[in-house]
Structures are given as C-alpha cells and as structure tokens.
Amino acid sequence: MEDKELLKNLCMSHGPSGREHWLGDYVAEVFSEFGQVTRDNLNNTIVHKKGKGKGKIMLMAHLDEVFMIITEIKENGFLAFKGNGIDPKTLVSKEVIIHGKETIHGIIGIKPPHLMKEEDRKKAVTIDSLLIDTGYSNESLEKIVKPGDYVTVKGNYKELLNNNVSVKTVDDRGGVVALYRCAKELRNIDHDMDVYFVCSAQEEVGHRGAKTATNRINPDIGIAVDVTFDCGMYGLEHGDTELGKGGVICIGPNIHPKVRKHLMKVCKEYNIPFQLEVEAGNTGTDAWDIQVAGEGVATLLISIPIKYMHTSVETVNMDDIKNTGYMMAKLIESIKGEEVEELVCF
Amino acid sequence: MFLDEILQKDGLLDKLTSLSGPSGFEGEVRGFIKEQVTPYVDEIFVDRMGNIIVHKKGKGKKVIVDAHMDEVGFIITGYNDDGSLRFSALGGINAKIIPSKTVLIGPNKIPGVIGAKPIHLQGAEEREKGLNYSDCCIDIGATTRKQSEDLIELGEYVVFDTEYDEFGEGLIKGKAFDDRVGCLVLMEALKEKYDVDLYGVFAVQEEVGERGAFISSLNLKGDLGIALEGTICADMPSVPKHLRATEVGKGPAISIMDLTSIFDVDVADDIMEVGDNLNIPYQRRKAIAGGNDAATFHGTGFGAKIATISVPCRYIHSSVSVASKEDIKNTVKLLVEYLKTL
Amino acid sequence: MNKLFEDLIGAFGVSGHEEEIRSVIVENLNFLEVENKVDSMGNVIAVLGKSNGDEEKKVMISSNMDTMGFIVMYIEDNGFLRIGKVGEFDESTFVNNMVEFENGNSGRVCGTKDSPKIDEMYIDLGVESREEALELVREGDVCTITSNVIEEEKNIIAPALDNRVGCYMSLKSIEKLIENKESLEKLNKEIYFVFSTQNTLGGRGARAAAYEINPMYALVIDGEKAGDTLGGSGKFSLGKGTGIKFMDRTLLMHHEVKEQLEKVYEKMDKKPHYIFGETQGEGKTIHKEGVGVKTGTLVYPVRYKDTNMEMVNYKDIEEGIEVIYNYIIE
C-alpha cells in the first residue's frame, strides 16, 4: 500500500485516547504481513517482526488522537463537553463526529457576533462556552448519546503542493505510517535484532500506554516516532526545522547519546536527510516513559515536522515520513547482534 | 574518621566537584567514581541508564543508599548569526542566576561567558522585567555562526566555571555540591564493613526528574532506601527562621516530608537515636519543598521504607554553593553508624 | 450507624501514618476470618476466591484508607507550630478549627493574615516555649481537623467520609460474599481487596499493590464531589445513587470495565450516573503499572468534599455495596 493511502485511511478514521481499539483491527490487518500482532491491556497494538533473536528494538508511534468527551445533554439537542489537547479557538464552526450507540454528526457553532457583548468579542473562546449542536430532539438524542461518549473532529484530507498533505491526526498517525514504511523496507533486509512495532495508546493524555508496552517487551533500544513543530511563521521562534528536510533527531538527556550518534552516522552514510533539535528535559513524548521502563531502555526520538499541530489541518511532507521510516530500517540493518551491548552501555 | 584531607583544596571533594557532569552527561563523574570505589566493594557494574551500582554483600535486609552524580547545568540549543550560542537549563536553574557567569563547554572545557544586555542600554520597562533564558546567550568569542558550529556541536553540555576552595571558618565553597557532597558521603561510607546487604547507587539524571534512580530502584527492589543529598539551606538573616529548611553547621539534616515523599517515622527515629547515643549532631529538614531519589524507592516495585539524610548547602542550583566541613564529616559518621546498627 | 462504620470514620490515619485505621480494618478482616497481609507500603491486602491460574481472572478492588491533614515542620521559639499540608485541599478553610494529633493532643489552627496559604498558617498549642511544645508534639507529627459526627435520618455528616465510606463498602461486600457461601464457592476469580495508603499524596500505596498483585482488572472505589448544592456545578447528586467515573484528570476508564459495570447496573435494574472527575484518582498509578491494568472507578456522591463536615447518603452507601458485590460475582 502507498504511504499516502495509509495516511489517509488512518487519519480519516477515529481513535481517541482510550479507544484505540476502534482502529485496532485495521492496524492489525495492515501490519499482519510483518509478524504476529497482539493487543495489551491498555490497547497498545504490538507487532513482532522476528530477526535473529539477537537483541530487541522497539519502534513506537501513538495511535490515539486528541478528543472531546460529552459531559451533559442540554436542551434542544445540544451537548456540553470537555476537551483534551484541543485549542477551543480551532473548534469554532467545526463539524464533529459523536461516537454514541451510533455515530452521528454534530456542529460546534458560536453566538453570532452581533449578539456578543463588546468584551466577549475580544476574549478568546473557552471550552465551557461551546456547545455541540446535534439537530436531534432530546428524546431521540437520549437514545443515542450519553455523558462519557467520545467526540472527535471530522477529517478533511487535502493534497497540497510539493508533496505536502493536510489532514487531521498527522500527530501521530504520520508516525505510524513511518513505522509501516520501515517495516516495508525491512522485508528485504536481514536483521539480527527482533523488531517490535508498537502503535501506542493514550499518548495524548500523558503518554500512558508507552510504559506498559515497554515493560512487556523490555527492549534494548526504543525509538519513539512522533511529530514536532516546524520553525516557520506559525512554528517555533528559534530553530531551523523545516518541512521536507527530513525527520528530526532529538538530542538531550532523554536520548541515548551513543545510539543517537550511530543513527546520525547511518543517515550520513546513506544520504538520508535529517534535522536536529535539542530537548533539555522531558521531551513530552512516549520517549520520556520508554527510557525508564523495562530495565531501562536506550531511547531515541525521531520527530516528523508538521505545521499547525493539534488542529484538523495538520500539514506534513510525505518525504519526511518516508525518510524517517527509511532511516530506522537502515539503523536496524546496521546493528549486528554482538554490537548491541556495546552500543547501549555507558 | 578524619576527612580533613579529603575536604581541603585539591582534595577528593575538589576533584569530584570540578568534574563536568550535568544531567544526561555524567560520563566524567562516572569514570572517576568507578575507579575510586572499586577497591571497597564486592560487585560493581553500570546499568542501562548509566547509574553505577555497587554491592557489598551481607545477610539480612537489602538496603539501598543513593546519591546522584549529576549537577544542574546547561545544554546548547542553537546558534545565533553573530556566533553566540543559545542554551537551555539541564535541571532547574532559575533565570535570575545566569547572567554574568563564566562557563565551560563540553569535554574540552571550552570557556564561554553568559552575556546579557548592559543596564545602561536597558529601557525603564526592561529594567523592571525579570530575565529569561531567551534574553541571554553564551559567548565563546566567535564572530560568525560557522565558527561556533565548527567548534561546538548542537546539544553539547555546559557547566559553571567555579573553583573549589575553603571559605570562612570551617566552610567550603564550590559548584555541584548538590549532589557531589552526597556522592562523597557514600564513597566514604563504602569503605566500612556492614552486616546488611548493601547496595550503593551513584545515580544519573536526578535533576531532570529522578530518572536514573527510577531504574536502579526498580531493578534492585530494596527493603530500605536512603537518599543522600546536598539540600536547601536558607539560613540567611533575610529569611524568617521557619522558612530556612536547614542551617549550616547544625549537622546532617533528616527529612520529614518533601514534594515526592513522606518519610518513615520509625527510620528517622532510629537514625536520630544513633545520633543521640554517639553525640553526633543532627537537625530536621524543615521544609516540604523539592524532591529527590527517595521518591523512587517507594515509587517502584513493592515500595520500601525510606529516609533522606542531607548535608545543608546554601545556594544549591546556582553557580556556587557553601557547606560546612563538620556537617559533611558528621553526615558520614551518622550514616555509617546507622548502617552498622541494621 | 453500626460499630464498624463508627470505628472506620473515627480512626486516625493521615497519609504515611495509617497505623490506627489499618488496625481497625485488619481487626474486621480477622473477625470475618479473611486472610490478609500488610505489604511494604502499609497497604492491607485480602484475597477471596480462587482461579486456576488464569490471568484473566485476577481482579483488584481498591479503596484508600488514608486522610489528608497537616504536618508539623517547625516549632518556633515561642511554641507556635509551623505546618505543611498532607494532601491536596484548600487549607485556608481550616483556619480557626481545632486539630488532633495521633497521640491525642490538640491545637488550634490560626492564620497570620486573612485567607492564608499554608505558609501563613500555624498551630497554637497554648504553650509558651519550644520546650513546652516539645512535650506535646515533635517535628514530623501529623494531625487532622477535629470534627463532629452527626447522624441524620437520610445522611451522615462527618470528616473523612471520603474515603472511609469506600473502605466500609469494600468490607461490607466482603462480608456479604462470605455470608453467601454458594456464591463464594462458585467464584472462579481471585479478588484482591486493597486498603491502600498514601492516596492523598498521589496513589502511592495503590501503585505498589498493583505491582505486586499484577491484576488484569482493577476497580477503584472513591468519593466524588456532588454538585447539587447552591453554587455547585456538575450532575452528581446526593441520594440518587452511585456512578461510573468515565474520565478524570489521570485515568480514562477502560472500556471493558465500563461495560462490566454497566451490566451490573442493568442487572440491578438501576441506571448509573456518568461522572467526569475534575481531579485525580488512585486509578492513575494502578493502570500504568507493570504491563498495564484495565482500570475503572466506581464513585459515590459526597457533598462538601475535602471539608471537615462531608455529607454522604445512607442509600448511596447501600447501593455501593450492592454494586461491588454484584461486580465481584458476575
């Protein structure tokens, strides 16, 4: 399957934190040709691609997306909700999907400006001031929806210039596609290490799935694949990260220095473009929990640069996804079984 | 026990605190400590996170004594066009501390200075505002971006350039007292013999979240865990007595509670009893602020009984700290004698 | 109000100092002849039922036994006590109250100014010097707010109802299980009842218990604020039954546990309330331990939670016991 097709299928689907198993079957189907697929207690999906049993490497991208959750059914078919990880400003005038007994559509609108007070017009929108309009009568609505039901944003896949694509949930289904790309590359490669591809759960609520998946696998090396900000007009103030220049390799205490330097060497050897960023502490990704799980894991973080993170128009360059998958495959190829101990030790 | 030589200029503590080892980059310190403690222990190895684990075999309870090797420092995050370097803190260093300091970069200890705008050039509003990391840069004297890039890698580590020396009456000053002082106490304690099954952990990455100790505690699974720290000491006249936490010269501080642990009363009582019986002065750490590796003893595996014994240090997490030689000696004594009772 | 309930809400047990409440619970378990033990963190763990080694059938039911309180950090020269907080709560509401220490001594909570924060609060023991104070307390001692227990017709008003009511519900469901010998015999699961420590400090006891037990499922029993008061918000109401907490700041309820509980309510011919929790809960540390635990929380409504006069409804307590019992035998 082409990367673009997989990205579209994954991102247009819905899998909020805690309900990753809604995507579980599709992901299992996609990855089943590479090895055995299992699911753990927190809904992490784990794919085991056998190598020669000499060392274990785990690649992890999170499957869950930011979400909203219904807290109350108000009058006239309106629903009150709480959000997680979504800027309320981006929810105004948005179409959403409500996952109740059935899946129904909703619209988040706001008070028309001419009815707003002067101060309201200036202030930023808050979650508490928004409501989801379902268009149903309360009587019918109550049969379909109840508090605790999940709501996700409706996706709209768009192909832009220069091999850029815009769709919701590139964070982090773009990472899952990079994992898939890596798996495809490994089909023709002899690798000593056993490879575990993990589509992790509940990253967006505090990378909760990462720890338990890592505990179960107990790998020697763990690579978290996530997304990062670019340094353009609406990105980070300082830095040089750009879309299309390659996956961003992280440097810092969360990252194992030797393995990271080895990865950079591999990239230079095969002319795989990459970028660098520094994180002085918590990287805010699964990498933070991977490092101190199991018996301690030599950890890497590779991030795919995107624009407009946590909005429904996240924009990514397909070459960056491809190159991230490719650099991981080449890294795995380059590590001989007997070199693992030396590589991860201090 | 006389530790005078060790605490003098050019002594062991001088060497220990002068090494560069901020969180995530403890290599220099690890190599040095490994060499020093090997003759006194039965087993020694370095684990997955880079912690040094030593074992003095014994029967009875499994006791873990932990001190962390890392100091707070900085990491290079980028280059400015004029050749100066952008940086972030490794561990908690308040931005107020940073301007006008000299630093050493990387294993080659390339010298740099942390610059900020001179006051004469600051507008009235600017003078009022607090300083941010983004307002400062590290200057190594390079004139172009390329010059900096060629000399210093992205993500290189940086430490304060502070000289160790004796200070005032019976005090010492230097950098990285938090927690090289704790490491020193542990190193000295390992020279004695005990009945218990003793594990010493020289941990990494405490300052960025007790990361190393998490793994060592999880894997060792002790019954009792003791953390050794260089801890907050705000015994200045401008600070009301009840907010000082500890005082220099009053002996090792035994913790009551901090942000990540509530310490076992019976263990604290036993330690204090040893102090009373042998006339070793001690004090309580009278603040709840901060946290340390003890959090990992009860926060992993089956949990454990916990205690923290600290040497009071003024101005930790800054470029220069102050501590009392007597406090360090008494901390060693108290720890050793307590371990002997187990 | 029966003796067990009285003993449970009256026992001292600030986080990290749970000796008294622990002995009340152990005594009750021993009286019921249920095997129990105390682990490294001071949790009480009792097991009922048996499985044939099937991982699927290990269930943990957790209620915390600790309460919040104050801890003495510094004794002034003139005998006043400077204090810290144990647990997350609004400390300024306790100014002008009396506190009681584990050893029975009392003191008065005072503030150095209006609406004080914890470092502007102190305890007056009525002594004149540090020496005199040291005859009554030590640095490191903990205390709770003294209060009354008031039995009304429908409700009970007392401090620490959250989460001693949870402990009560667990113990009563154990009792019910033992009385129903047939159900107990047929039970093909291992149920681990955990009475945990240091919950107010972030689920520290429960984590260690989850690590040791390594259950497949965990059900946390907890109190959640009732919003049906003047100036209150939220849909949880007193006397209208218990609820399923589908999400809080630290736990997304596992869908399997949600479905299991929904089945229980259906069997009881009751409709559960669906509650969104604004704060953290013990499930936070349980679900991420080891290889992961499928975790959910059953909540009962508490008016005026985290004050020294909380209010819980008797019918809600009875329903809670039924829900736990039915969850176990399902």
A195 touches chain B (CB under 8 A): no
By C-alpha distance, which of C299, C156, C152 is closest to C236? C299
Domain ranges, ordered by start, for chain B = 4-71+162-341, 74-160
Candidate list B26, B71, B206, B207, residue with the active-site label: B206
User: What pLDDT was estimated at residue B153?
Assistant: 95
Domains of chain C: 3-67+159-329 (3.40.630.10), 69-145 (2.40.30.40)
Pairwise CA distance, residues B151 & B105, whole Å: 10
Token digits of residue A56:
């274990």
pLDDT cut 70: percent of chain B above it: 99
Over 60: is that where the pLDDT of B41 sits? yes
Chain C residues 83-112 with a CB less than 8 Å from chain A: none
User: What pLDDT was estimated at residue B37?
Assistant: 97
User: What pLDDT was estimated at residue A128?
Assistant: 84
By C-alpha distance, which of B25, B215, C326 is closest to A295? B215
Chain A residues 140-169 with a CB less than 8 Å from chain C: 146-148
Residues from chain C contacting residue A46 (CB–CB below 8 Å): none
Nearest to B287 among C16, C73, C204 (CB): C73
| Shortest Cα–Cα distance, A128 to chain C (Å) | 12
The answer to whether the CB atoms of A44 and C292 lie below 8 A apart is: yes
Nearest to B154 among A237, A251, A282 (CB): A251
DSSP β-bridge partners for residue A94:
A108
Residues from chain C contacting residue B262 (CB–CB below 8 Å): 15-16, 71, 86, 198, 201
By C-alpha distance, which of B262, B199, B207, B198 is closest to B229? B207
The pLDDT tens digits along chain A (346 residues) read 899 999 999 999 999 999 999 999 999 999 999 999 999 999 999 999 999 999 999 999 999 999 999 999 998 899 999 988 888 888 888 899 999 999 999 988 877 767 677 777 677 778 888 899 998 999 999 999 999 999 999 988 999 989 999 999 999 999 999 999 999 999 989 999 999 999 999 999 999 999 999 999 999 999 999 999 988 877 887 888 999 999 999 999 999 999 999 999 999 999 999 999 999 999 999 999 999 999 899 999 999 999 988 888 899 999 999 999 999 999 999 999 999 999 998 8
Which residues are CB-contacts of B84 (< 8 A; sequence separation ≥ 6)? B115, B137, B138, B139, B140, B142, B148
Chains with 3 or more CB pairs under 8 A to chain B: A, C
DSSP classification of residue A16: B
In this prediction, residues B87-113 reach a mean pLDDT of 91
A208 touches chain C (CB under 8 A): yes
Look up residue B132 and give its amino acid: N
Residues from chain A contacting residue B24 (CB–CB below 8 Å): 252-254, 257
Pairwise CA distance, residues B71 & B177, whole Å: 8
Q: Which CATH number fits domain B74-160: 3.40.1710.10, 3.30.420.10, 2.40.30.40, 3.40.50.410?
A: 2.40.30.40
With H, G, I as helix, E, B as strand and everything else as coil, classify residue A322: helix
Based on C-alpha coordinates, what's the Rg of chain A? Answer: 21
The answer to whether the CB atoms of B241 and C74 lie below 8 A apart is: yes
In this prediction, residues B197-219 reach a mean pLDDT of 95
DSSP classification of residue B50: S
The answer to whether the CB atoms of C274 and A41 lie below 8 A apart is: no
Look up residue B219 and give its amino acid: N
> Does the domain formed by B4-71+162-341 have CATH 3.40.630.10?
yes
Q: Phi and psi (nearest 5°) for C224?
A: -135, 145
Residues from chain C contacting residue B305 (CB–CB below 8 Å): 40
The answer to whether the CB atoms of B298 and C82 lie below 8 A apart is: no
Beta strands in B207-279 (DSSP E): 224-232, 253-255
| Shortest Cα–Cα distance, C294 to chain A (Å) | 6
> pLDDT tens digits, residue range B146-156?
999 999 999 99
Angle at B244 between CA B241 and CA B245, to 5 degrees: 125
Angle at A247 between CA A243 and CA A253, to 5 degrees: 125
A129 touches chain C (CB under 8 A): no
Beta strands in chain C (DSSP E): 36-38, 44-48, 58-64, 69-75, 81-86, 98-101, 106-111, 121-124, 142-145, 150-151, 155-158, 190-196, 217-225, 243-247, 273-276, 294-302, 310-313
Distances (CA, A) of A154 to A88, A106, A151: 15, 9, 9
| Shortest Cα–Cα distance, B143 to chain A (Å) | 19
Work out the number of other CB atoms within 10 angstroms of the CB of residue B217.
29
By C-alpha distance, which of A225, A228, A224 is closest to A211? A224
Given a contact cutoff of 8 angstroms between Cβ atoms, the answer to whether A255 and A300 are in contact is yes
CA of A217: which chain C residue's CA is closest?
C291
Given a contact cutoff of 8 angstroms between Cβ atoms, the answer to whether B164 and B14 are in contact is yes
In this prediction, residues B294-313 reach a mean pLDDT of 94
DSSP β-bridge partners for residue C294:
C217
Look up residue B142 and give its amino acid: A
What one-character-per-residue DSSP string does C149-192 give?
-EE-SSEEEETTHHHHHHHHHHHHHHHHHHH-HHHHHH--SEEE
Identify whether B10 is preceded by a cis peptide bond (ω within 30 of 0).
Answer: no
A239 touches chain B (CB under 8 A): yes
Which run of H or of E encompasses B322? strand B321-324
Nearest to C290 among A17, A18, A212 (CB): A212
Given a contact cutoff of 8 angstroms between Cβ atoms, the answer to whether A183 and A13 are in contact is no
Distances (CA, A) of B316 to B96, B244, C72, C106: 13, 13, 25, 37
DSSP classification of residue A128: G
CA of A73: which chain C residue's CA is closest?
C235
Pairwise CA distance, residues C306 & C162, whole Å: 8
Residues from chain C contacting residue A21 (CB–CB below 8 Å): 255
User: What pLDDT was estimated at residue B126?
Assistant: 78
User: What pLDDT was estimated at residue A75?
Assistant: 87
User: What pLDDT was estimated at residue B2?
Assistant: 67
Q: Phi and psi (nearest 5°) for B43?
A: -135, 145
Which run of H or of E encompasses A225? strand A221-229
Residues from chain A contacting residue B154 (CB–CB below 8 Å): 251, 276, 278
The answer to whether the CB atoms of A278 and B219 lie below 8 A apart is: no
The answer to whether the CB atoms of C17 and B303 lie below 8 A apart is: no
Chain A residues 5-44 with a CB less than 8 Å from chain C: 17-19, 21, 40-42, 44
Please give the torsion angle defined by the CA atoms of residues B107, B52, B89 and B150, in that order, rounded to the nearest 10 degrees.
20
> pLDDT tens digits, residue range A262-312?
999 999 999 999 999 999 999 999 999 999 999 899 999 999 999 988 888
Distances (CA, A) of A296 to A254, A345, B215, B331: 12, 11, 6, 31
A95 is catalytic: no
B107-129 b/e (C-beta count within 10 Å ≥ 16 → b): eeebebbbbeeeeeeeeeeeeee
Pairwise CA distance, residues A35 & A92, whole Å: 43
The answer to whether the CB atoms of B302 and C41 lie below 8 A apart is: yes
Spans in chain C with pLDDT lower than 70: none
Over 70: is that where the pLDDT of B1 sits? no
Pairwise CA distance, residues C194 & C45, whole Å: 5
Nearest to B262 among C39, C86, C207 (CB): C86
With H, G, I as helix, E, B as strand and everything else as coil, classify residue A54: coil
User: What pLDDT was estimated at residue B35?
Assistant: 97
Best residue in A42, A99, A207, A215 to probe C by mutation, most C CBs within 10 Å?
A42
Chain B residues 204-233 with a CB less than 8 Å from chain C: 223
With H, G, I as helix, E, B as strand and everything else as coil, classify residue B20: coil
Chains with 3 or more CB pairs under 8 A to chain C: A, B
Q: Phi and psi (nearest 5°) for C143?
A: -145, 160
Token digits of residue B338:
């307590």
With H, G, I as helix, E, B as strand and everything else as coil, classify residue A283: coil
Q: Whats the size of chain A, residue-wise?
A: 346
Angle between helices A170-186 and A21-31 (to 10 degrees): 20
| Shortest Cα–Cα distance, C37 to chain B (Å) | 14
Candidate list A20, A203, A204, A279, residue with the active-site label: A203
Place of tokens 């030589």: B5
The answer to whether the CB atoms of A238 and B134 lie below 8 A apart is: yes
Distances (CA, A) of C206 to C26, C43, C65, C250: 17, 8, 11, 14
The answer to whether the CB atoms of A346 and B27 lie below 8 A apart is: yes
Domains of chain A: 3-65+168-344 (3.40.630.10), 67-153 (2.40.30.40)
Looking at per-residue confidence, does A83 or B158 come out higher? B158
* ipTM value for the complex: 0.86
Which run of H or of E encompasses A40? none
Nearest to A40 among C244, C250, C291 (CB): C291
Pairwise CA distance, residues C319 & B330, whole Å: 59
Nearest to C201 among B262, B265, B284 (CB): B262
A vs B: CB pairs below 8 A: 71
Given a contact cutoff of 8 angstroms between Cβ atoms, the answer to whether A106 and A96 are in contact is yes
